[in-house]
Amino acid sequence: MKETPPRQTRIDHCFKALRERGEKGFVAYITAGDPDLASTFEQVLVLERAGVDIVELGIPFSDPLADGKVNQESAARALASGTTLNGIFDMVQALRKKTDIPIMCYCYMNLLFAPGFERTIKRGARAGIDGMLILDLPVEESADYAKPLNEVGMNNIVLITPTSPDARIQAIVRHASGFVYAVSRTGVTGMQSKLDSSANDLLKRARKATDLPLALGFGISNPVQAAAAARHADAVVVGSAIVQQFHQAGDSRAARKRVGEWMASMVQAVKE
């Protein structure tokens, strides 16, 4: 029986438009609920005004194995403020009255599985979530979860790393949609002083395995690094640096405006 082709999401349309314009994409990560969901709502709108193409919402989790210090602390603040997955979905549903920007979730499997995977992703799709990046879902089990994501109209976004052998990259991308997230270095998220030399090799190997757009992330924290990453990838992902900027600036309209101005310089570096 032929597999149903995935429905086109906002993420798919975004990358198609970027290709047509000859532009690179900018994916911005923030932790949902840091410092609270009302602030996250405003942060998404700030990011959109700064020119970001896709927003990646980190779902706060008590045991974030792929996250460095900045994002761990951000998740702890979000959990302390009472953030829940249902609350995040409600916030996104409200956001959809203001913006059509593609929104994906960066999530750990337990948060989706414990309340019932299919029921949870259906709720997320109704809210307006376009894709899921499930950090701790092994490739050996991914087919079982990629299918229901496809059925509700969500992209199954996957991670590949510099230590992934070519055969494993091919297996990982087989059930992917939307784009492939290439990790620029081994280890956890966090700001770095320079891009790892293994990043370009990973992108070259990934190009042989998939026609999906490739986004490069982990460690990118300034315009110079962002521009360097954009030379080889289809999109750049920036996370910890944005989380830190919002946290240090403070939770006010003026503070968010300052972060927006900094974000605009990051986006410009990718687009030039």
**Residues with catalytic function:** 56, 67
* Distance of alpha carbon 267 from alpha carbon 209, whole angstroms: 28
Cβ(175)–Cβ(209) below 8 Å: no
Surface-to-core class of residue 51, CB atoms within 10 Å of its CB (0-12 exposed, 13-18 middle, 19+ buried): middle
Tokens 């460095």, residue located? 68
Cβ(13)–Cβ(130) below 8 Å: no
* Distance of alpha carbon 29 from alpha carbon 58, whole angstroms: 7
Cβ(180)–Cβ(152) below 8 Å: no
Q: Which two tokens stand for residue 85?
A: 């997955």
Cβ(9)–Cβ(179) below 8 Å: no
Alpha carbon distances (Å) from 119 to 80, 125, 176:
26, 10, 21
3-state secondary structure of 229: helix
3-state secondary structure of 32: coil
- Cα–Cα nearest to 164, from 139, 137, 195, 133: 139
- Cα–Cα nearest to 30, from 78, 95, 96: 78
